[in-house]
């Protein structure tokens, strides 16, 4: 399916409907400037979450669960899918701070932390539905949900789940989202990278 750019959005299809996926310019933990949709979503299976480096609550455990889930997915997908972690605290979480944060977790390949303009990060967060219906709770980043969006851009299939579910349930949900959860489903070769010809 062909995607076209519309300003800071990329046109895509999700669940059979045309959508404008946010595609702002963000900065990675190693200082690269990237377009979010183009670099992390287009033609891929991806895991996306929000966290911040000073979080002492759900973030550390949620990230551990997601990194372990990637490892469990690798045999069935042919690779560990990409994990994009966007900061909830762009005023503090500079690329340098994010770089140190990634290093403390062993800098696993395929995991990227991103920062950028608050409005751009908010656009992605809201697009993915990581929003509490109570505006006061939603504005308090210390109460953010420990959620992950898992998406297969080629199939237009997306799911959102809590990292508190644990690695095995998240792995099963990710495989279903990617169309790989079946005793008869063959393992996909590089399901987490572009599969369009």
What is the average pLDDT score of the chain? Answer: 87
Give the model confidence (pLDDT) of 19-67 as tens digits: 889 999 999 999 999 999 999 999 999 999 999 999 988 899 999 999 9
Cα–Cα distance between 151 and 130 in angstroms, integer?
A: 14
Give the model confidence (pLDDT) of 110-168 as tens digits: 999 999 999 999 999 999 999 888 888 888 877 777 899 999 999 999 999 999 999 99
| The pLDDT value given to residue 99 | 97
Residue 31 token pair: 């200082």
Instruction: Spell out the domains of the chain, with CATH numbers in brackets.
Output: 22-177 (3.40.30.10)
Sheet holding 45-51, edge to edge: 33-35, 25-28, 111-115, 82-87, 45-51, 147-152, 157-162
Cα–Cα distance between 111 and 67 in angstroms, integer?
A: 8
| The pLDDT value given to residue 19 | 87
Cα–Cα distance between 16 and 19 in angstroms, integer?
A: 9
Residue 82 token pair: 């990409």
């Amino acid at each position: 399916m062909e995607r076209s750019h519309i300003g800071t959005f990329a046109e895509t299809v999700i669940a059979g409907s045309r959508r404008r996926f946010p595609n702002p310019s963000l900065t990675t933990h190693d200082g690269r400037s990237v377009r979010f949709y183009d670099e992390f979503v287009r033609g891929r299976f991806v895991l996306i979450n929000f966290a911040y480096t000073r979080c002492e609550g759900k973030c550390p455990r949620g990230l551990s669960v997601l990194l372990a889930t990637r490892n469990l997915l690798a045999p069935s997908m042919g690779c560990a899918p990409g994990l994009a972690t966007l900061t909830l605290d762009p005023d503090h979480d500079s690329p340098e701070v994010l770089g140190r944060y990634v290093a403390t977790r062993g800098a696993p390949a395929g995991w990227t932390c991103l920062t950028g303009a608050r409005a751009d990060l908010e656009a992605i967060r809201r697009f993915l539905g990581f929003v509490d219906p109570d505006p006061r709770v939603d504005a308090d980043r210390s109460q953010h949900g420990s959620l992950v969006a898992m998406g297969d851009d080629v199939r237009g299939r997306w799911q959102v789940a809590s990292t508190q579910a644990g690695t095995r349930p998240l792995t099963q949900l990710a495989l279903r989202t990617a169309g790989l959860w079946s005793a008869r489903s063959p393992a996909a070769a590089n399901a987490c990278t572009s599969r369009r010809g």
